[in-house]
Amino acid sequence: MSSAKHGSTHRFETLAIHAGQTPDPQNGAVMTPVYFTSTYKQDAPAQPRQGYEYSRTTNPTRTALEQNLAALEGAHWGLCFSSGLAALAGLVHRLKPGDHVVAGNDLYGGTYRLFVRCFAQYGLEFTFVDTTDVKAVERALRPNTKYLYLETPTNPLLRLCDVAKLCALAKKRGVLSVVDNTFATPFLQQPLALGADLVLHSLTKYLGGHSDVVAGALLGNDDKLRAELAFHQNAVGGQLGPMDSFLVLRGTKTLALRMERHCENARAIAAHLAAHKKVARVMYPGLKDHPQHRLAKQQMKDFGGMVSFELKGDVAAATRVASATQVFTLAESLGGVESLIEVPTVMTHASIPAEERRKAGLADGLIRLSVGIEHVDDLVLDLEQALKKA
């Protein structure tokens, strides 16, 4: 994996640590400083040094992170926002009334909410389709469709869509394809190489990796698109601050190591749960019985750290199990070093009406795990004792 922008043929693990960062030429500081400054001295009126003028527009700590993320996704450029949803809003800000977006029907809840509750009122149109069905996506595209918005694997059912096929379809129809790569991370899946036009991240999750920062990003190759998105980002003001940029920059250095362990632990836990008598069904792309196991092997390097499973019992049983773990923390969010457990029906997905949830295949007894990087034996034992309460 290489990055043309950085003129380097270095591999992912090396880019993660070095891309966008060079020791300070004045004092040798190895780590990029946190540039706590709102403004910059100009050499003459309207002559900012190296383009830095005001920190809503650009800040050197943020620039380092943007270059780092671009190298990891194989992109020409990156733009960092104050959250994943701010990045999504940044994407939508360049649309005009009457424009149409086709998106998956199994999206992160906040993405659905931003589209339907915030942007539909400005005359934008949204159609939600099953993106595992290429024909259904093709039928949903219209002459005014501007984005095909994909998420894979999805949350919490861990369904996949065929990124290469769908992006080729979008290209043929003159539609920009966007992939939310939060769950897979660029270590496991690189949508731009599969034909996507843009990648979106909630950096809050695996890229930050330590549950200590909320941040988002857009990445791409087309410079004209970058200019439009950067214009709106600066005009609206949803940029990422220097301290938060620093925290994510620190997180990406260990992304490869963390992801390897997340995947290894998740694989062991999925296998263990699949053989458990109180478990009805396990959803993990690495399991042979996952409906898209083959696609997962094609477009992902490994299968990720998220595991969902259905108990034979109902939501009360799921609630008892999720309340009984001691190493897994009962909490929303995902992607940090620590393992988390949650019950989507009453937590992350409670805002979806029960009827809709069932139609989507989201059972009441579903439990979602964000498998961390603790010792796998401690995680298995913890689930084992908690499942006695099911």
Ligand X SMILES: *Cc1c(COP(=O)(O)O)cnc(C)c1O
Binding site residues, ligand X, CB under 6 A:
83-85, 108, 110-111, 151, 155, 180, 182-183, 202, 204-205, 214, 216
For residue 13, count CB atoms less than 10 angstroms from its CB and return exposed for 0-12, middle for 13-18, buried for 19 or more.
middle
Closer to ligand X at the Cβ: 85 or 386? 85
Q: How far is the CB of 92 from ligand X (least distance, A)?
A: 13
The rounded Cα 147 to chain-centroid distance in angstroms is: 17
Closer to ligand X at the Cβ: 124 or 214? 214
Cβ–Cβ under 8 Å, residues 166 and 150? yes
Q: How far is the CB of 208 from ligand X (least distance, A)?
A: 9
> Does 108 qualify as catalytic in the annotation?
yes
- Per the rule left: phi > 0, alpha: psi between -120 and 50, beta: everything else, 262 is alpha
Which of 35, 40, 52, 108 is the catalytic position? 108
Closer to ligand X at the Cβ: 3 or 211? 211
Q: How far is the CB of 131 from ligand X (least distance, A)?
A: 14
Collapsing DSSP to helix, strand or coil, 166 comes out as helix
Q: Token pair for residue 294?
A: 């083959």
> Does 205 qualify as catalytic in the annotation?
yes
Closer to ligand X at the Cβ: 98 or 361? 361
For residue 267, count CB atoms less than 10 angstroms from its CB and return exposed for 0-12, middle for 13-18, buried for 19 or more.
buried
3-state helix, strand, coil in the chain (%, to 5): 40, 15, 45
Q: Token pair for residue 63?
A: 């620039």
Q: How far is the CB of 75 from ligand X (least distance, A)?
A: 18
Which of 159, 205, 301, 357 is the catalytic position? 205
Provide the 8-state DSSP code for 48.
Answer: B
Give the span between the Cα atoms of 339 and 286, in whole angstroms.
19
Taking CB atoms, the residue at the shortest distance from ligand X is: 84
Cβ–Cβ under 8 Å, residues 181 and 219? no
> Does 180 qualify as catalytic in the annotation?
yes
Closer to ligand X at the Cβ: 74 or 216? 216
Going by their DSSP bridges, the two strands 216-220 and 145-151 should be labelled as: unpaired
Peptide bond into 156 cis (omega under 30): yes
Length of the chain: 390
Closer to ligand X at the Cβ: 67 or 152? 152
Single-letter amino acid code for the residue at 34: V
Q: How far is the CB of 180 from ligand X (least distance, A)?
A: 5
Neighbours of 98 (CB within 10 A): 10
Q: How far is the CB of 272 from ligand X (least distance, A)?
A: 25
φ, ψ for residue 33 (rounded to 5)?
-65, 160
Return the active site residues: 56, 108, 180, 205
